[in-house]
Each structure stands twice: as C-alpha cells, then as structure tokens.
Amino acid sequence: MPGPATRRILLTGSTGNLGHKATVALNATEGIELTRIGRNGGNDPGVITANLEVFDNSWATHFGGIDTVLHLAADPRAAGDWDSVMQLNVDLALNVIRAARSGGVKRFVFASSNWVLSGYRFRSEELTAGLQPRPVNPYGASKLFIERYGRMVSEETGMAFLSLRIGYCQPGENKPGPHMAFGLWGQQMWLGNDDWAQAVVKSATVDFTGFHAINVVSRNDGMRWNLEEAHRAIGYAPFERHRPHMTLTGRLKDRAARIREKLMPLGVAVPVVGKRW
C-alpha cells in the first residue's frame, strides 16, 4: 500500500530563532521535502541564498511546485523602526507572496504576531480572530498589513492563507519565568518550543482552506488568547503550560505600565491631549 504523498514545503527565515526550530521540526517529519531560502548570513549549505527584499525571478522560480510556503523571514524586533519594518516585514513579505502566487502555491503560512493585539494588554476581552486589531508599534502594524493583504489574495486567487499570531518564544531553551519582558502579559503569551514545533508541522501538513488568523501560544494560566480557532483550522492543541509568577520588581513595572497606558494610551483612536497630525 503506497505511503502518504510527499509535501513540498518552502521555508523562509530558516536561520533565525523560530526558523531554526521550524527546520528541526519539519526535518523530523516524515513525508516532507523541505526547501529553505533566504539571506543565509551563516552560509548554511542547506539554504538557497537569495535577497528576498528585491523580487527576482532567479529565486522566485524555487516556488514552482511548492505545496505550502511557510514565511518566517522578517525583522523580529518588536522595537524595530519603520525603516527596517518596511523593508524586511512589508516589502519582503509582499515579494514572497508574489512568488507564491506566480508559482501556483496552494497554501501560504505567515508568521504574524500577538503584537497585532498588543493594545489589549490591560483590558479583559478574549483575544479572538474577530476582535478589532490594535497594534501599538510599527512591528505590529506591519504584521497586520500582511494579514489583510493575505486575506485579499486568498479571496482573489483561492490560495489558502494562514496567519499565525505567534506568542513569546525565546531563543534556545526558551524557559518561561519572571525574566521575560512585558510583565504578566509576556509570561501569559509564552509559546513553548514543543508547541511551536506542533504549530509548524500542522501548518505544513493540514489541508486548510480560505483565510485564518489564529493564536499560537501555549496553554498558560490566566491567558486570554482563544485557542479553539487554531484547533478548528489546523488541529493545534498546545500541551505545554506555564504558571506566570512575578518578582516584586516585575509587579512594580507592570503596575507602572498599566498606569502609563491609562494616562497615555497607545494606539487609541482619539489622543488624550492635542490633535492628530
């Protein structure tokens, strides 16, 4: 009896933190043929070296015959400025989507971020795909733009588009705790390495259709991120769990951030003082 058909997966950003972990997970999965492409600053012989910031048919041809693109390449810094974000998170992503469309790719998986919903840090709503996005910085805004563009492409061409609103996944061993940034919010959005690997493999192997924006975090105590949408879309069911705990210094910083947000909120429609430009 023949085995399952080989799935051809193309991965960008494979040498970064999330990309390296994704590479390990995909290489350990039977039935996957993996193509890695990107800047390749470390001269990894397994990566096709390409400047994805500038569209060129010489690298776009590698998208032909690909079943699923997993696009992780970006400036990963939440504090990235507009110059970097426009080049590495917007222009680069648009080039990769263009290559996927030209190559007839069926499914596109985009590494979005929980920064799309960062304006809800000190609120109480359940964080779902239907909630109005509220980014507070250029990084989050860039991820939201590509999500919206991906929805349009999906509706226009039929290419399925999956936006992973990824949580807080640290380099290396990725142990959670009070050392993490953003206080309680940061710990609650922790994403364990095994849960990230699960999300990667399911994104690459499940035949999802249409557009989906899903939360990819671990099942942490007190978290507000809806995980049922991710389960319905690709069967994502995180099993890692963290119980956030704060040091005295962390609690004071969290309280100060809450007061600052109340007095000078980021991302609001109407400024507290003065007028918008």
Per DSSP, the residues of 148-178 read HHHHHHHHHH--EEEEEEE-B--STT---ST
- How do residues 150-200 score in pLDDT, each as one tens digit? 999 999 999 999 999 999 999 999 999 999 999 999 999 999 999 999 999
- In the block, which residue shows the tokens 């997966």? 9
Residue 262: band (very low, low, confident or very high) from pLDDT cuts 50, 70, 90? confident
Q: How far from chain centre, in Å, is Cα 236?
A: 14
Q: Euclidean distance between the first and final Cα of the chain, in Å?
A: 66
DSSP letter for 225, please: B
- How do residues 64-84 score in pLDDT, each as one tens digit? 999 999 999 999 998 889 999
Closest-CA residue to 136 (of 266, 6, 244): 266
Least confident of 94-108, 109-123, 211-225, 251-265: 251-265
DSSP letter for 87, please: I
Q: What is the pLDDT of residue 1?
A: 41
CA angle 36, 168, 228 (to 5 degrees): 90
Q: What is the pLDDT of residue 42?
A: 87
User: By the 8 A CB rule, do 53 and 42 touch?
Assistant: no
Q: What is the pLDDT of residue 264?
A: 74
Spatial neighbors of 68 by CB under 8 A, at least 6 apart, are: 7, 8, 9, 10, 105, 106, 107, 108, 109, 203, 204
How high is the mean pLDDT of the chain? 92
pLDDT > 90: percent of the chain: 83
